[in-house]
């Protein structure tokens, strides 16, 4: 029996992956290293909150691209976790015919690959926005295919699923794609070979070999059950080129919300959740009105009218940079939150005067914003998790409400990670 898994948390934020895994089994998941860096900011608030809660791990506060290969090699992590930014992953050849990165974006994913090359972890758990599966708009699915091919070249398999947290009993309608990546020499990978790929070449003519994996045997199928049917007959099978630049230039497959990549081939289908887990309504997350500081109430009539305008339907005449005139249309939404439903997705702009901010009407007909504590609850953090940060000199200070909201807009539903952690423990 494995006594512990040594964990490296990349793009750590305020510790969402770590919180989720420790809630799953704190004695199994031991996060020994973390990296958090907010580019372009002098104040490293998220790192300082992380460091306040977890002072005994090696917490690195520098750009991941500046962490050397030699440093990564000192981290004998069994598991790498992280929620990395969704960017442009197109690649191109340099004049010397080496693979390079087109433009300045996409660098951060390659640093994950660099960490894997140097550490050789058994597993990875990664998270991203669900639009990654359709990126870029000009060649949908290409970016994700590049990622799959990159892991395949290093000897890993990838299972993925788009999960809406509210559809699995949580309090926020937050859709994210989760990756379970495992090395092909692990016992789990060998078991999958025995079950489904004794004759790997037969997969070329029998795509149904992956059905049982996707519907019942995979990590996500076990912990996040789905209906045992392909939604609207949406499915696709694709063989990935060994040449990642070729994929970047020529990819033409589809990527649906559920899938598995093994040995350079992936099978993907569109699925729907089983639907037997009731979400938590927003009203069960909110603090009592008597607990709310007056600063969260909106008393300015102009601000109230501004929210009404932002949330209402509108048609606006605009002119593009090229001089083209067009009409921008936006549908209306409820003038305030329906607290009998799970929360809408939180964004980093939460708490500002904009359309996406949660706007609540109280029982006594007042209006207010959600509080930092309520935002933390929607991501399954403890109350006041982000309230205190630890500075470089060892002193502590409070974090601003605006920054606490920003943290939660960037965070993930740690309860989802807890369930992934529970299933990974069963797998190992």
* Comparison of pLDDT for 105 and 83, the residue scoring more: 83
Q: What's the confidence (pLDDT) of residue 90?
A: 56
* % of the chain at pLDDT higher than 70: 91
Instruction: Check whether 171 has a pLDDT greater than 70.
Output: yes
pLDDT for the residue 194: 81
Residue 98: the pLDDT is 45
pLDDT in tens, 339-386: 999 999 999 999 999 999 999 999 999 999 999 999 999 999 999 999
Mean pLDDT of 154-180: 98
397, pLDDT greater than 90: yes
Tell me the DSSP string of 9-41.
EES-TTTHHHHHHHHHHTTTEEEEEEE---TT-
Task: Encode pLDDT of 209-236 as tens digits.
Answer: 678 889 999 999 999 999 999 999 999 9
Question: Rounded mean pLDDT of the chain?
Answer: 91
Q: How far apart are CA 428 and CA 424, in angstroms?
A: 6
Q: What does the alpha-carbon distance between residue 277 and residue 145 come to, in Å, rounded to a whole number?
A: 32
Active-site position among 5, 86, 112, 424: 86
203-234: string of b/e by CB count within 10 Å (b at 16+)? beeeeebbbebbbebbbbbebbbbeeebeeee
Task: Residue 286: name the closest of 210, 368, 357, 366 by CA.
Answer: 368
Q: Which pLDDT tens digit goes with each residue over 23-77? A: 999 999 999 999 999 988 789 999 999 999 999 999 999 999 999 999 999 999 9
Look at domain 5-277+414-427 and name its CATH class. Answer: alpha beta
**Is 155 in contact with 183 (CB distance < 8 Å)?**
yes
Q: Give the pairing type, strands 156-164 and 325-330.
A: unpaired
CA distance 315 to 331: 9
Residues 6 or more apart from 315 whose CB is under 8 A from it?
Answer: 327, 328, 329, 330
Q: Domain locations in the chain?
A: 5-277+414-427, 282-382
Q: Provide the CA 390 distance to its chain's centre, in angstroms.
A: 26
Return the closest-CA partner of residue 255 out of 235, 240, 272, 239: 235
Q: Residue 255 pLDDT > 80, yes or no?
A: yes
Please determine, for residue 149, whether its predicted confidence score (pLDDT) is greater than 60: yes
Would residue 335 show up in a list of annotated catalytic residues for this protein? no
Cis peptide leading into residue 136 (ω within 30°):
yes
State yes or no: pLDDT of 274 exceeds 60. Answer: yes
pLDDT band at 321 (very low <50, low <70, confident <90, very high): confident
Query: Among 141-145, 209-213, 253-257, 303-307, where is mean pLDDT lowest?
Result: 209-213
Reported confidence tier of residue 89, pLDDT bands at 50, 70, 90? low
203: pLDDT strictly greater than 60 = no
- Whether 218 and 424 have beta carbons less than 8 Å apart is answered as no
pLDDT tens track for 300-318? 999 999 999 999 999 999 9
Provide DSSP, 75-140. Answer: ---SEEEEE-------EEE-TTS-EEESSSSSHHHHHHHHHHHHH--SEEEEEEEGGGGG-STTST
Q: pLDDT of 121-132, one tens digit each?
A: 999 999 999 999
- For residue 262, the Cα-to-chain-centroid distance in whole angstroms is 22
3-state class of 235 per DSSP?
A: strand
């Amino acid at each position: 029996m494995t006594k512990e898994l040594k964990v490296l948390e990349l793009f750590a934020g305020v510790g969402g992956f770590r919180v989720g895994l420790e809630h799953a089994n704190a004695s199994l998941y031991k996060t020994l290293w973390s990296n958090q860096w907010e580019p372009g900011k002098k104040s490293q608030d998220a790192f300082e909150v992380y460091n306040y809660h977890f002072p005994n791990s090696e917490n690195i506060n520098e750009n991941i691209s500046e962490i050397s290969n030699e440093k990564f090699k000192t981290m004998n992590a069994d598991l790498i976790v992280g929620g990395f930014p969704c960017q442009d992953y197109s690649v191109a050849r340099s004049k010397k015919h080496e693979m390079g990165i087109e433009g300045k974006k996409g660098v951060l994913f390659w640093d994950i690959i660099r960490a894997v090359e140097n550490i050789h972890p058994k597993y990875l758990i990664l998270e991203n926005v669900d639009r990654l599966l359709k990126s870029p708009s000009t060649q949908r699915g290409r970016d994700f295919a590049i990622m799959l091919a990159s892991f395949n070249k290093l000897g890993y398999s990838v299972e993925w699923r788009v999960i809406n947290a509210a559809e699995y009993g949580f309090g926020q309608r937050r859709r994210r794609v989760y990756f379970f990546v495992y090395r092909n020499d692990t016992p789990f990978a060998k078991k999958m070979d025995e079950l489904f790929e004794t004759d790997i070449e037969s997969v070329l003519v029998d795509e149904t070999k992956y059905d049982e994996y996707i519907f019942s045997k995979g990590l996500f199928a076990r912990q996040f059950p789905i209906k045992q049917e392909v939604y609207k007959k949406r499915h696709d099978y694709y063989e990935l080129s060994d040449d990642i630049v070729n994929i970047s230039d020529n990819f033409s497959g589809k990527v649906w919300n559920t899938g598995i990549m093994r040995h350079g081939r992936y099978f993907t289908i569109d699925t729907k959740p089983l639907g037997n887990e009731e979400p938590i309504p927003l009203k069960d997350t909110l603090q009592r009105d008597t607990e709310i500081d007056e600063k969260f109430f909106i008393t300015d009539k102009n601000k109230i009218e501004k929210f009404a305008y932002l949330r209402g339907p509108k048609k606006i005449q605009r002119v593009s940079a090229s001089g083209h005139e067009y009409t921008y249309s936006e549908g209306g939404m409820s003038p305030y939150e329906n607290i009998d439903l799970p929360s809408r997705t939180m964004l980093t702009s939460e708490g500002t005067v904009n359309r996406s901010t949660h706007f609540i009407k109280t029982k006594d007909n007042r209006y207010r914003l959600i509080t930092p504590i309520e935002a933390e609850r929607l991501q399954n953090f403890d109350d006041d998790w982000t309230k205190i940060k630890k500075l470089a000199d060892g002193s502590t200070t409070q974090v601003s409400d605006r920054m606490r909201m920003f943290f939660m807009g960037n965070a993930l539903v740690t309860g989802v990670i807890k369930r992934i952690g529970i299933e990974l423990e069963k797998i190992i």
